Structure 1
Amino acid sequence: MHTLPPLLSGFVPIWALSAAGYAVGRSGLLGPQAESVLGGFVFNVAMPAALFTMVAGTPLGTFANMSMIAFAAGTALACLLGFAVSRWIFGRGLPDQAIGGMAAGYVNSANLGIPVAVQILGDASFVAPVLLFQVLLVTPVILTALDAGTAGTAGAGAGGRWGERGAVRMLLLPLRTPVILGTALGCAVSATGWRLPVALGHSVELLGNAGVPTALITLGMSLHGRRPATGIAIRAEVGATVLIKTLVQPLAAFAVGSLVLHLPAHQLFAVVILSALPSAQNVFIYARQYELSTALARDAVMFSTLLSMGTLSAAAWALGPGHT
């Protein structure tokens, strides 16, 4: 029996579920509002449950290590470059700048990071601190920028109707944004060592498990009737974003890890591999939920996923056991 190469097998679920979503969108099986409804379900229900489960079950101290400094440096540089490109080259507003920064530096650590880590690194333990870093530090920054730029009027939270301003809006952001609220509750549970009753915990976990496949289905549905962006500006922006994500971010992590921190070979290998993961589908979900154009997010996710197979393979060849 022929089996798929280990690296390729990690990408198959992404392509298969996105293709299924495209077929659903093309057939009209779920009706004209399905993409909006499913996107809202992921952002407001399934994703918060998944983040709560992940954070609650992970000791918060796991991401306090030298390897994470290198990963964080690469992420910060990539996000800032994506933000700068969107702002100063393409003249986007704050919400689109946030999406550009996220598309350039927020890795697909959940449904792709784990299988890639298992197949290439032989150990998925480093994925947990990456997940925590993105959830606890990067996500609140992105959502704060999105909320400030849209004045809270999008589907993620209608706080603008009550007229909050400035610091008050920021203080209330976790209560109006289920993703942050789920993460905050997970932190509280992790810090106290308390655990949900087994039956309730299992129910939350089942709900969270629906997040990734539904997000991929929604992403696939968004491709129906929409070709890759054809305008010169948006194509250039997608190209710049994907270049930052697939090349600049892992190279920056490598430079910091090797030249500044002098990480051991296996830690440096793990940092570069996880930094080279493609953009997460969360970028598309956030853009969709805040009623922004999804062209950049959609195309950045799709093209970075395709190109990352090459960059991941190159990193594995250059830094993997036997080549260091």
Structure 2
Amino acid sequence: MITIVNALTPVLSLILLGFVIRRSEFISPSFWPSAERLTYFLLMPAALIHSLAGKNIGSLPWFGILVSVEGVVAASALLVVVWGAANRGMGGGVFTSLFQGSVRFNTFVALALAESLFGRDGLFLAALGAGFMIVLINVLCVSAFSLTVGSGGGVDLRRLGTDLLHNPLIIGCVLGIGLNASGWQLPAALDGTLALAGKAAFPVGLMAVGAAYRAGNLALHWQPLAVSCGIQFLCKPVLAWSLTTATGLTGAAAGAVLLLFSVPTSPASYILSRQMGGDHDSMASIITAQTCLSFVTLPVTVWMLL
């Protein structure tokens, strides 16, 4: 239990700090939109390039991990689309919050738990699985925005293609994977710069979530919140267990995959929602609620792993 508390407390603390700073007006309200743009266009892409460029999968069970994580992401996205089709009264902005809240995952919490439970091997296996998912998740989420927000109900393939090609998160993923595939090592100075910039993305993003949070939003957005929590904390762990069993993954590899799909959604969801015209109020509520709820759900997952 202490491992989970240690991993989740910094997340909630930074959200709370952003909430307090915004309400106290210690910093001008005009700071937050600029901080969000900085995170979205610079800090997060730097983190993605750094994390994806230097991994060497070697003799690890990478194929089983790849099939498992991509399968769970695709199935989760399909569940949200089916639910959205059955509830057409939901606005496009709220749908994107539900989508991100059901598909994304908190990398920081997952990696922290993997290292605490399985050591350095678990950390590397979880990072490998996260790397496999990053491109697919960002393509799916950007596509959800392009097809539902400001599309007038139609499918604008030109807008979708433009959004995918110009999205800084996808560009960061492609650059990182391209560097990895080429075998070219980033110069130490450049890699260190990217690593340092990437470390700033997480705290700034979390404080931006807190700054946007409104206490009444949890009740206002109860429906997408409930559905996203059901998919995030029930459907995804069950799917992950099924696929790891089917692909023959065991030990730390299976545990790392299960952890990736047992954590709350990513704070990056809020930044993407703000920048692409989503319903950022509902997104902030989902992030906050899932992070709090994970204090209850994660001990169950860890108990099952051990």
Q: TM-score scaled by structure 2?
A: 0.87
Amino acid at match of 1:6: T
Deviates more, 1:127-136 or 1:169-178: 169-178
Aligned to 2:264, the other structure's residue is in SS state coil
Please tell me whether the aligned partners of residues 83 and 98 of structure 1 are also in contact (alpha carbons under 8 angstroms): no
**Structure 1 residue 169: Cα displacement:** 4.4
2:140 alignment counterpart: 141
- Aligned letter for 2:115? V
Give a deviation string over 1:183-230, Cα, whole Å, max 9, x none.
Answer: 22222222222233332332222212110110011011112x443333
- What displacement does 1:84 show? 2.8
- Please give the alpha-carbon distance, in whole angstroms, between the structure 1 residues aligned to 2:159 and 2:88: 28
How far 1:72 moved relative to its partner?
2.6
Q: Distance in 1 between matches of 2:189 and 2:252?
A: 39
Distance 1:316 1:229 in 2: 27
Q: Kindly indicate whether residue 28 of structure 2 is the aligned counterpart of residue 39 of structure 1.
A: no
Measure the CA separation in 2 of the matches of 1:216 and 1:136.
22
Task: Name 2:127's counterpart in structure 1.
Answer: 128
Comparing 183-192 and 265-274, the one that deviates more: 265-274
Q: Distance in 1 between matches of 2:4 and 2:291?
A: 12
Question: Distance in 2 between the 1:91 and 1:125 partners?
Answer: 43
Question: Is residue 211 from structure 1 mapped to residue 201 from structure 2 by the alignment?
Answer: yes
Change (3 A) 1:167 1:291: closer
Determine if contact 1:103/1:301 at 8 Å carries over to the other structure: yes
- Please tell me the residue identity of whatever aligns with 1:102: Q
Q: Is the 8 A contact 1:107 1:279 kept in 2?
A: yes
Identity of aligned residues (%): 22
Q: CA deviation at 1:70?
A: 2.4
C-alpha separation in 1, matches of 2:78 and 2:304:
27
Gaps of 5+ in 2: none
1:126-178 Cα deviation digits (max 9, x unpaired): 222222122221211211332344469xxxxxxxxxxxx95554554455221
TM-score by length of 1: 0.83
Alpha-carbon distance in 2 for matches of 1:89, 1:297: 18
The 8 Å contact of residues 79 and 106 in structure 1, kept in 2 or not, is answered as: no
Q: Which amino acid aligns with 1:248?
A: C
Higher alpha-carbon deviation: 91-100 or 65-74: 91-100
**Equivalent residue for 1:67?**
65
Q: 2:219 is matched with which residue?
A: 230
Q: Give the number of equivalent residue pairs.
A: 300
Name the structure 2 match of 1:312. Answer: 298
For 2:210, the equivalent position in structure 1 comes to 220
Bigger drift between 77-86 and 115-124 goes to: 77-86
Specify which structure has the higher proportion of helix: 2
Post-superposition offset of 1:78: 2.1
Q: Aligned with 1:126: secondary structure?
A: helix
- Conservation of the 8 A alpha-carbon contact between 1:63 and 1:133: no
